[in-house]
Structure 1
């Protein structure tokens, strides 16, 4: 029987890979929702354990996805709840594309988010009230979409928000 310390060491060794793999799974699920006529997402290979090698994805020193740069990439499709699984994400850049549908309320789970740029798309519906959970958010750009309703009152609790 293997000593407990050996088993514990094994789990400590693979735990970063497991967390990045879940981020890779979330990004791959997002990719499957997009049409990508110019192949900007061709490097997003789900068989790689680590999405940090993919183009348009930036990671920190712990291999956590902190930035998604797909602004002006000629992609279309919809956003899904899987984006909310990128718990270390700080920058979400999806501006100037043809992304449509509603903004998933799960984006409110991105507690480390500093900037969300999704302007000039075809997003519709209301701004989710869950955005009030984004206490680190400084920049929220949603202009030039097909959004309806008013800006949620809950967003007034975001003391760091500089641009709305």
Structure 2
């Protein structure tokens, strides 16, 4: 009898303790709020992102599953300026990260390669700079990768060609250089996916890197 009473008490304690029940929500909320304070928001689209609320699932432009885990971040065309933050890479259940048509600057954090459930990464039409992180090759569930119309530079990581589920790729209108892969998943993408990169020399020849060109790609 005593054992049953103790078990019931512990169960009630677990259900009534907001720290235990909502620790995951707090963690995700902290990651999202780190992004909020890193950007300027002239239209107040992030006004509902209140850090005193333990559940980010109540915030606008955030979608959660039935376990209250963040699965979507939809902030396309929101006139946000500022930069991406590495904390976004801790949203382990995120499937859609859509931040297209804003005024974001700076690099793409390599930590985004930790979003193992990501299906779509939409960062197009911003002012992002730096290279494409090779860590994005860890996104094995990724189907849509749109990084076009930024100011990304450097070579295209060959590791991205192992993304077997990739259906849409757009790296056009950047400042990428060297060559682009023609093997793996990249074998199905047309040259339109890479157009308007003035320093991009074209496809690899017979799956081989043009090392003389890539060495000049900085």
Match of 1:113 in 2: 118
| Partner Cα separation in structure 2 for residue 76 and residue 31 of structure 1 | 10
- Alpha-carbon RMSD: 1.6
Q: Does 1:141 align with 2:119?
A: no
Mapped to 2, the partners of 1:154 and 1:89 lie a distance apart of: 22
Does residue 109 of structure 2 align to residue 104 of structure 1?
yes
Distance 2:64 2:97 in 1: 13
Higher relative CO (Cα under 8 Å, sequence separation at least 6) belongs to 1
> Following superposition of structure 1 onto structure 2, how do residues 45-56 of structure 1 map, counting pairs within 5 Å?
45-56=50-61
Q: Computing the radius of gyration over CA atoms, which structure comes out larger, 1 or 2?
A: 2
Q: Deviations over 1:11-50 (max 9, x none)?
A: 4775441101100010001100010011000000011110
Q: TM-score under structure 1 normalisation?
A: 0.94
What do the CA deviations read for 1:56-93 (whole angstroms, capped 9, x no partner)?
A: 00000100000000000000000111000110000000
- Given candidates 64, 67, 80, the residue that maps to 2:69 is 64
Number of corresponding residues: 163
Q: Which runs of 5+ in 2 are unaligned?
A: 170-218
Q: Is the 8 A contact 2:84 2:104 kept in 1?
A: yes
TM-score under structure 2 normalisation? 0.71
Maintained 8 Å contact 1:16/1:63: no
Aligned to 1:44: 49
